[in-house]
Chain A
Amino acid sequence: MPLENRINSDPNAVRNTYHTPMSTTVKKPAGGGESASLGVCMRRVAKHRDKDAFAKLFDHYAPQLRAYSLAHEPGAGLVADELVQEVMIRVWLKAGKYNAGLSSLNTWIFTLARNCRIDHLRRNKRYVTTIDPADIFNDIEDENPGPFQQAQISRIEENIHAGLKELPRGQAEVLTKVYLEGKSHRQASVELELPLGTVKSRVRLALKKLEVLLTR
């Protein structure tokens, strides 16, 4: 989709950014100021072990994390509380490892939540394998020099937030199945009663619209 269309169709767009067509800072994802102050909290937790700052992070992220867990296991309140606890404790312990140059705080929290979910599934014997997910996911994301600069990351992030609002319902639905409910394409196709090919192509179309996958 041409960028121009997207800007015009967004009633909340800040009009005075039009003179820089490459600029995609049309609309900040929910509260740009808020995310900046969360970044400050994060630094205070890392540097000063500041519990008040940690409490602010908790207030912001815990309800999101709880919702993420409930999307996967509806009604499982205890599991959701456990995920909140696991993730927030990792935030406290790993604060020093968080590198704002590699990912936004939101994305870092998402990957922690995803890793905790995988770990939880494994510990609860739905996975009986000896493969340790910590070795698969953690190192790569924490330690590798990020190929993207912070500015690029926030630009892509803003594109994604804006794009998600305009996704056709069918595409948004499959993305939700895949990312939030943790379903494979095949499981999504069974639950949505859609052919596997349709699920795959909707996911691809959605990710192309969000400019996450490039059109070949």
Chain B
Amino acid sequence: MASTTLRITSARLRSPFVAQVEKISGQKLLACYQCGKCSAGCPMAAHMDILPNQIIRMAQLGMHEQLLACEAIWTCVSCMTCNTRCPKDIRIAEVIESLRGAVLRTGQRDDHLRIQEIDADVRTNLPPIAMISALRKLAS
């Protein structure tokens, strides 16, 4: 990730964005003490640009733009490994889902899977379970 300078102000920590993420995910972001256990066990970590613990940290700090532009929120597959291992019982997968929602619910509806771009042959071979779950997670 490119280095970022961030001025931490109470306005950011109490921004509507942080409040919305906490509400939709049902999680208290400040409970996280950055132990890193979520990232240590994440099967998708090798494919992510920022790690799950960093996502939580950036959400705490209200780093709205960086979070909604990152790839990692789309790489997370809601496998729930982090949730079952977090010593603070934070549901990281729920936080990440709320971030995907923040992108998919805007007017642009920036889908991260475009079925029409996938080969017709490939589409027929994929089981319904793959297609439907991918669309539900990655498209508006």
Whether both chains belong to one complex is answered with no
Please give the residue numbers on chain B whose beta carbons come within 8 Å of chain A beta carbons, in ascending order: none
Binding site for B on A (CB under 8 A): none
